[in-house]
Amino acid sequence: MKLYFQCHMGIAGDMTVASLAHLMGVSSRELQDKLNQWGFPLEVKLVEGENGGISGLYLDLTIKDRLTEVYFGDIEEIISEVNEEEEVKERALKAFRLLFEAEGKIHGKSYDKVHLHEAASWDAIFDIFVTSWLIHKLSPQVIIHSPVNLGRGTVRTSHGLLPVPAPAVASLLRGRSVFSSGPEAELTTPTGAVILKAFAEEGSMPPGRLSGEGRGLGSMKFPGYPNFLRVIALEDGETSSRVVEIEAEIDDSTGELLSVLWEELSGKVLDMFFVPVYMKKGRPGILIKIIARPERLEEIAKALFLNTTTIGVRYSIKERIELERKIEEININGFRARVKVSFLEDTPVNALPEFSSCQELAKRLKISVKEAYFMILEAWRKR
């Protein structure tokens, strides 16, 4: 599955959650049960409604214990105590780190020395953490967003009246395509911007079979401008796609620098290999081989030049054949384990338990990860 965010009226955290919930059919009760499990002092309702004649879901959030002057360490502590899969927590922390770094650049401080104002409360924690959880449930192959409408005019902040986009939004969306259109209002918030920065890449709507859409309605209404965020789900309509293969050999770089490159490109590539090779004059070296989507070529080449000693890279566009894939959930003693299933002409041919599910089940049942792996696989086969 691929997800495409249409940001024609910008993006905010509440609209993101509502659009994903609308797409997935998540109920208020299911979401409230999760909030109770996580220990978040919040009450949530997903309310059907319309904005400018377009139907969708509104998010109604009641905060029982509002936070003020929250530092990154406070966010780390809150998320570390949440009972949820590590991948969900790590993705959310990544987003918050980006948000604090953006604020730090604006104020000339380290990310761990600034506190947040508008974005720093339980509603922001809700927006980012729930988005991470919903994306984890969907497990899309890729998330792509359209150019982003920032809005026009000014926005009232704790620092006073500022022009749109707010500094944090401008910092987070640097390098992404944006535009300003429609009503005089802030259409893209810092929380919405960091969700795009952390979870999505910019691009055109990918080809595929449109399998669903979700519409998250904004709280503001503007005459002549239906205010909603739409997320579109696309399934592979064919089994072939194009990738770019990027290579470079290095014989004068340290392992420390290569580890920085690995971290820099994590989540941006489809696969990456470091292969030991012998180069001219018998020197031991490393062949870096990266497989990625073609639109990532320039970004990856720049990362190679900045983080390694190479002075050139090779690349080629290649076709590849893929199996259709989706995530299925299996109930094991009340635990929802995830299994990645691959299909050939609608027939399942491969099933692979998600490693994070294996780790979590092993921890809960006090068994080895290997035992948990086969337990999940057996449960899937008997489903």
Of 235, 267, 302, which one is at a domain's C-terminal end? 235
Shared domain check, 316 and 299: yes
pLDDT tens figures, 357-369: 999 899 999 999 9
Q: What is the pLDDT of residue 117?
A: 59
* CATH classification of the domain holding 333: 3.10.20.300
DSSP string covering 92-126: HHHHHHHHHHHHHHHHTS-GGG-EESTT-SHHHHH
Note the pTM of the prediction, 2 decimals. Answer: 0.71
- The model's confidence at residue 254, banded by pLDDT at 50, 70 and 90, is confident
Mean pLDDT of 266-282: 90
Which is more confident, 257 or 46? 46
pLDDT tens figures, 50-101: 999 999 999 999 988 777 778 899 899 999 999 898 889 999 999 999 999 9
- Greatest mean pLDDT range, 26-30, 159-163, 346-350: 26-30
* Range(s) of the domain holding residue 254: 242-321
Shared domain check, 179 and 38: yes
- The set of long-range contacts for 158-167, using a CB threshold of 8 Å and a minimum separation of 24, is 158/117, 158/118, 159/117, 166/190, 167/106
Element of type H or E holding 163: strand 160-163
Of 235, 253, 285, which one is at a domain's C-terminal end? 235
Shared domain check, 152 and 227: yes
Q: What is the pLDDT of residue 44?
A: 96
pLDDT tens figures, 316-337: 998 888 888 888 888 898 888 9
Mean pLDDT of 270-297: 92
Shared domain check, 231 and 310: no
The mean predicted confidence, pLDDT, of the chain is 90
Number of domains comprising the chain: 3
User: For the chain, what percent of residues have pLDDT higher than 90?
Assistant: 64
Of 269, 300, 321, which one is at a domain's C-terminal end? 321
Shared domain check, 314 and 368: no
Distance separating alpha carbons of residues 154 and 165, to the nearest angstrom: 8
Query: Helices 86-107 and 190-199 sit at what angle, rounded to 10 degrees?
Result: 120
- Does residue 128 carry a pLDDT above 90? yes
Shared domain check, 134 and 199: yes
Would you call 276 helix, strand, or coil by DSSP?
A: strand
Shared domain check, 328 and 273: no
Would you call 254 helix, strand, or coil by DSSP?
A: coil
DSSP-derived secondary structure letter, 314: E
- Does residue 119 carry a pLDDT above 50? no
Which is more confident, 215 or 123? 215
- The model's confidence at residue 240, banded by pLDDT at 50, 70 and 90, is low
- The model's confidence at residue 237, banded by pLDDT at 50, 70 and 90, is low
10 Å CB burial of residue 173 (0-12, 13-18, 19+) is buried
Q: What is the pLDDT of residue 235?
A: 82
Please list, in sequence order, all residues whose beta carbon lies within 8 angstroms of the beta carbon of residue 205, skipping any fewer than 6 positions away: 4, 144, 146, 232, 234
Distance separating alpha carbons of residues 335 and 354, to the nearest angstrom: 13
Shared domain check, 341 and 228: no
* CATH classification of the domain holding 286: 3.30.70.1380
